[in-house]
Amino acid sequence: MSQLITEAWYVAAWSSEVGETPLARTICGKPIAMFRSGGEVIALHDACAHRQYPLSAGRVVDGHIRCGYHGFEYGVDGVCTRVPGQDEIPGNTRVDTYRVIERSGWIWIWPGNPERADPNAIPAVPWLNNPDWDGVRFTRRYECSSGLLHDNLLDLTHEAFLHEASIGDEAVYTNGITVEVTSTSVIVDRFMPDCHPSDLYVKAMGVQAPMDRWHTTDFHLPSLHVIHCGVGKPDAPRDEGYHLEVLNGITPETATSCWYFYANVRDFAQGDESINDMMRESLKQVLEEDKVALEMQQQVLSAGHAGGPDRLIAQDAGVAKARRLLRQMAAAEGADRT
């Protein structure tokens, strides 16, 4: 299994998850305590320099985080500012800090060397926190590698089988894909002309067959898939259809578990809570079906029971390209380290 890529931006949390009460989250194998100080999100290594008690089990006092065990306090730069009972603070008493940026309702983290973190490299998600786009959100933790979830989103033919009852039908696999690779992303486009628009879309949009459908997965390596989905009248321009943006922030927790920050937002039926309720129920089921499948796959792999290398097919063109690029990113990071 390839090593985790830490020199990258990942979604660490929703803005609403982080307040003055510290939040503990493991990202790329690193335990991290996140909290707000003066409104700013701070991320520190989640182990006190005194005796490794998790700082996330402490509390924020006057903008500093106080360890809940013996009361050491740390500022936003990770430097210890107070040791109860003595004036002198032992030299270099500090914890590591992580670079974090808050944008459009997501908190992004750079788990690697903070000096390499370029905020301009964070993908834009203009559909989040945008009143023109209404929808539903979920946070999930899957006990599978982030790579299995990347594969899942780059090959959506699984919708026809795993999600047969909601979003899938044969149009997904009877139509092929085109793949484009840029310097930062792999883009997989599937166009499905003159087909049934899937049961979920029939309910959400009130449309009837035949319709044109499309989904374009824009994978910003290594952490975010934006799936531009749409349904429109046959032969009409895509701009004129119904649009959904499916945002999938995927963040390794460990080599065999990951965080999944998911939003499904649409540019129609805004403010219609009955549509939101229906989408929430249906997509909750979809995410559960993915979780069960991916965790079973991980169990096969972790047990060493894979029967051989994966046999990729034409529909896996995006999977193959993304895997190659992810391997290159991991190798480049490994080479830098040594």
Rule CB under 6 A: which residues touch ligand FES? 48, 50-51, 53, 67, 69-72
Q: Among Fe ion, ligand FES, none, what does residue 290 contact (CB within 5–8 Å per kind)?
A: Fe ion
Contact between 290 and Fe ion per CB under 5 A: yes
Is residue 151 part of the contact set for Fe ion (CB under 5 A)?
A: no
* CB-based burial, 81-110: b 16+ in 10 Å, e otherwise: bbbeeeeebeeebbbebbbbebbeebbbbb
Q: Which listed option, Fe ion, ligand FES, none, makes contact with residue 324 (CB within 5 to 8 Å by class)? A: none
- 156: tokens are 């959506």
In contact, 252 and 2? CB cutoff 8 Å: no
Q: How far is the CB of 71 from ligand FES (least distance, A)?
A: 6
Q: Please state whether beta strands 257-266 and 242-254 pair in parallel, antiparallel, or not at all (unpaired).
A: antiparallel
The CB-of-47 to ligand FES minimum distance in angstroms stands at 8
| C-alpha closest to that of 200 among 139, 292, 286, 290 | 286
- Residue 337 binds what, of ligand FES, Fe ion, none (CB under 5 to 8 Å, by partner type)? none
Q: Torsion angle, CA of 125/131/134/136, rounded to 10 degrees?
A: 60
The number of residues that bind Fe ion (CB under 5 A) is 1
CA distances from 212 to 52, 181, 185 (A): 57, 25, 25
Of 52 and 178, which has the nearer Cβ to ligand FES? Answer: 52
Question: If contact means CB under 5 to 8 A according to the sort of partner, which of Fe ion, ligand FES, none does residue 69 touch?
Answer: ligand FES
Selection from ligand FES, Fe ion, none that 191 binds (CB < 5 to 8 A by kind) is: none
| Contact footprint for Fe ion (CB under 5 A) | 290
